[in-house]
Amino acid sequence: MTDTLTSPTVAPLAQERRLVTAIPGPRSVELQERRRRVVSDGVSSALPVFVQRAHGAILVDVDGNQFIDLGAGIGVTTIGHTDDAVVAAAQAQLADVVHTLFTITPYEEYVRVAELLAEHTPGDFAKKTVLVNSGAEAVENGVKIARKFTGRPGIAVLEHAYHGRTNLTMAMNFKAMPYALGFGPFAGDVYRAPNSYPLHDGLSGGEAAERTIAYLEKTVGASDLACLVVEPIQGEGGFVVPADGYLPALQEWCTANGIVFIADEIQSGMARTGAYFASSHFGLVPDLVLSAKGIAGGLPLAGVTGRAEIMDAAQPGGLGGTFGGNPVACAAAVAVFERIEQDELLAEARRIEAGLRAALEALRERFPVIAEVRGIGAMIAIELLDPETHRPRADLVTRIAAEAAQRGVLVLTAGTYGNVLRFLPSLALGDELLADAMGVLAESFEAAGA
């Protein structure tokens, strides 16, 4: 990896951590004050530092501090901040055409993204796509399509799942706080089944699948279910990797019962795990795949891709939306796919996995509060439990993230109990930066009293 990545429009940004003020610095403090007056308190930020510039794996704040970004905007800038190819494609598209509304007058970029999704999602059959603006909107559309195709109402989801912040998706999430509390009434016909969480349930994949299926058969009945929506690796839930055989058994049950199997790959997809979609690691061939976050290098774009006969169940005019599949976002997405292919970025995800795993396993030797290192590719997490009581240590996770931020490393938390640190850096994170960030993490564990 090179130390310096160049951007076509601005001076190169050295890929290094650099602190020049206290965190947050004076300009961030000023902006925080302005923000408090005009931005809803319902919108929170993990770190009160305002970003001015970003490139590769580095964020620069308004005071000139440079942070190593291990969150990538929650897995959005997967190929790196302001990636040169993405910037160039978006700039060119901005000058050509910014908006027509695909449902009025179509354009090639939308079709190209649909072709690329058909090519790179698992399964060798005719596939079709609808493009929308956000992950939650992709979930909503996946459910809409599955209901129309099956003529059934029920939606099955799993414990610890996260699917978004719209009315339907609030009902599909596991955690009420902060996502749903007080925002009801919620959509009905959502059934939440136990998942596979090896660290906590100790079940084999087969046993966990039996439990999930028995639960759904008892509480709903397979014939009332339109779809089962699963994240192959749960994102907000804390990068929970299900036991071997769990997901294939669920898919088999869905297929046998005419239930549409939907993989929510919004966080796990688009090269993050070293495969285009994490479903591949589990041998899954979902009926529908939902993508968003990393698909367009930071521009808002999301999609539902799947079996043509299911996707075509929606009546003409039944799918769409004003901004869905915006030309600039589509041009950026095409550039993302090209970068992954041409620059072998799937291998970069595996390189990052090796680096993170080695560092985190070494940390686990030193700090027994780390109960587990888990994940695939550039999607790795550690869960913190009290070694004696096995109680979740959210307090410690919060302190460690704060200590890391003070030292110029942005690390995100996750988990139903808030006791998970998750690492989902961009694939532009070089080995030196990774090592520096892991050094800072170790210091932060000590400073937090782990």
Ligand X SMILES: *Cc1c(COP(=O)(O)O)cnc(C)c1O
Residue with Cβ nearer ligand X (63 or 264): 264
d(CA 263, CA 280) in angstroms, rounded, equals 11
Residues in the chain, overall count: 450
Q: Rg for the chain (alpha carbons), in Å?
A: 22
Q: Is 373 left (phi over 0), alpha (psi -120 to 50) or beta?
A: beta
Structural tokens at position 196: 């596979």
* Closest approach of ligand X to the CB of residue 139, in Å: 6
Given 117, 136, 311, 448, the residue binding ligand X (CB under 6 A): 136
* Closest approach of ligand X to the CB of residue 105, in Å: 26
Q: Is 101 left (phi over 0), alpha (psi -120 to 50) or beta?
A: left
Residue range at the interface with ligand X (CB under 6 A); choices 128-136, 182-190, 279-287, 359-367: 128-136
Residue with Cβ nearer ligand X (134 or 212): 134
Residue with Cβ nearer ligand X (222 or 420): 420
* Closest approach of ligand X to the CB of residue 266, in Å: 4
Residue range at the interface with ligand X (CB under 6 A); choices 119-127, 129-137, 280-288, 333-341: 129-137
Are 100 and 107 within 8 A, CB to CB? Answer: yes
Given 7, 150, 267, 279, the residue binding ligand X (CB under 6 A): 267
Residue with Cβ nearer ligand X (264 or 353): 264
d(CA 194, CA 69) in angstroms, rounded, equals 33
Report the number of secondary-structure helices (H) and strands (E) in the chain: 14, 17
* DSSP structure string for 50-82: -EEEEEBTEEEETTS-EEEESSHHHHTSTT-BT
* Closest approach of ligand X to the CB of residue 267, in Å: 3
* Closest approach of ligand X to the CB of residue 422, in Å: 11
Measuring CA to CA, which residue among 176, 296, 282 is closest to residue 230? Answer: 282
Residue range at the interface with ligand X (CB under 6 A); choices 12-20, 191-199, 262-270, 325-333: 262-270
Residue range at the interface with ligand X (CB under 6 A); choices 86-94, 144-152, 260-268, 364-372: 260-268
Residue with Cβ nearer ligand X (352 or 379): 379
* Closest approach of ligand X to the CB of residue 446, in Å: 31
Are 343 and 2 within 8 A, CB to CB? Answer: no
Considering only residues 154 through 173, tell me which ones interact with ligand X, judged by CB under 6 A. 162-164
Measuring CA to CA, which residue among 15, 22, 31, 5 is closest to residue 67? Answer: 15
* DSSP structure string for 297-316: BTB--EEEEEEHHHHTTSPT
Considering only residues 205 through 234, tell me which ones interact with ligand X, judged by CB under 6 A. 231
Residue 237: what residue type? G
* Closest approach of ligand X to the CB of residue 196, in Å: 16
* Closest approach of ligand X to the CB of residue 17, in Å: 27
Q: Is 342 exposed, middle or buried (0-12, 13-18, 19+ CB in 10 A)?
A: exposed
* Closest approach of ligand X to the CB of residue 262, in Å: 11
- Map residue 176 onto helix, strand or coil: coil
Considering only residues 272 through 311, tell me which ones interact with ligand X, judged by CB under 6 A. 292-293
Task: Provide the b/e sequence for 367-389 (b: ≥16 CB within 10 Å).
Answer: bebbbbbbbbbbbbbbbbbeeee
Quick one: how far is CA 14 from the chain centroid? 27
Residue 100: what residue type? T
* Closest approach of ligand X to the CB of residue 191, in Å: 18
Site pattern 235..254 for ligand X (x: CB under 6 A) = x-------------------
Measuring CA to CA, which residue among 409, 343, 351 is closest to residue 380? Answer: 351
Given 77, 134, 291, 444, the residue binding ligand X (CB under 6 A): 134
With binding defined as CB under 6 A, does residue 190 bind ligand X? Answer: no
- Map residue 374 onto helix, strand or coil: strand
Residue range at the interface with ligand X (CB under 6 A); choices 184-192, 264-272, 273-281, 363-371: 264-272
Residue with Cβ nearer ligand X (223 or 322): 322
d(CA 27, CA 37) in angstroms, rounded, equals 16
Residues that bind ligand X (CB under 6 A): 134-136, 139, 162-164, 231, 235, 264, 266-267, 292-293
